[in-house]
Chains A and B, each alone.
Chain A
Amino acid sequence: MITKLTLHTLLAALVVAGAAFAWQARGEGPSTTAASLAEVLGHEIDLDDED
């Protein structure tokens, strides 16, 4: 039962995280969404860098 509850929690966390990420990135362009994802993953992308 504890394993089942833990798996349910992790699955729900994935779904909520995906929905939350989509919500945060809503209305923003694909490049900004990619930058947001990179930030969440601990990287930085400078969108103003044209070089």
Chain B
Amino acid sequence: MTGNKTTPGVPRRPSRSETGFLLLFHAVLSGSFLVAYLTGDEDTYGMHLFAGYTVLAALGSRLAVALLAPAGSPLALPRPSMSPTFAWLRRLAAGDGQALRARSPLYPWMAVVMLAFAALVAASGWIADRLPSVEELHEAAAELTPAVIIVHISVAAVLHWLRRLATARAAAAAVG
């Protein structure tokens, strides 16, 4: 018997060290991805390779930690699910403010899309170094990078601000 009660399918809140690891992973992945994107020219090809390998190392470390993490751990790989997402969207459409204050089921979708996209770009770059026919795939995926990142940041920002707004309104209603 543990003190951590969890809802099936919903990871418990991360501990301090787990949060630290996830923040470090996010920083290394996004920082090295940014450097790799900005150094795609021939003059900076060495930097591009270094940053690309750093992306692969970050993804590999994240995958290894996820495979070792117990079920329900926040370090396990995100597992998006359709039915909670549709239920959450229906609650939003019905004007249920509590849906905004709860953790959105869109976050696992965002995480999976970003991890898959980063893995596609980095792995195709690594393969293209040995198999030139994969280079077009690598370049096409890389060209999508700004759009994917803008969508990722926009969705995260909108969810974050909506949650703050809903929490502030609930607090104001409780006081009033």
A residues whose Cβ falls under 8 Å from a Cβ of B: 1-2, 4-5, 8-17, 19-21, 23-25, 36, 39-40
Contacting residue for B27 out of A12, A17, A19, A36, CB 8 A: A12
Name the CB-closest residue of A to B52.
Answer: A20
Contacting residue for A20 out of B28, B35, B160, CB 8 A: B35
Give me the 5 closest cross-chain CB pairs, A-B, nearest first. Answer: A12-B31, A24-B46, A8-B27, A20-B50, A13-B31
* Whole-angstrom distance between the Cβ of B31 and the nearest chain A Cβ: 3
* With contact pairs A9-B31, A11-B27, A13-B34 given, residues A1 and B54 touching in the complex (Cβ less than 8 Å): no
B residues whose Cβ falls under 8 Å from a Cβ of A: 23, 26-28, 30-32, 34-35, 39, 43-48, 50-51, 54, 153, 156-157, 160
* Whole-angstrom distance between the Cβ of B41 and the nearest chain A Cβ: 9
The CA of A14 and the CA of B47, in the complex, are separated in Å by 12
The answer on a CB contact under 8 Å between A23 and B27 is no
The CA of A15 and the CA of B24, in the complex, are separated in Å by 13
The answer on a CB contact under 8 Å between B26 and A23 is no
Residues of A within 8 A of B23 (CB): 4-5, 8
* Whole-angstrom distance between the Cβ of A15 and the nearest chain B Cβ: 7
The CA of A21 and the CA of B160, in the complex, are separated in Å by 35
The answer on a CB contact under 8 Å between A2 and B35 is no
Contacting residue for B47 out of A2, A8, A20, CB 8 A: A20
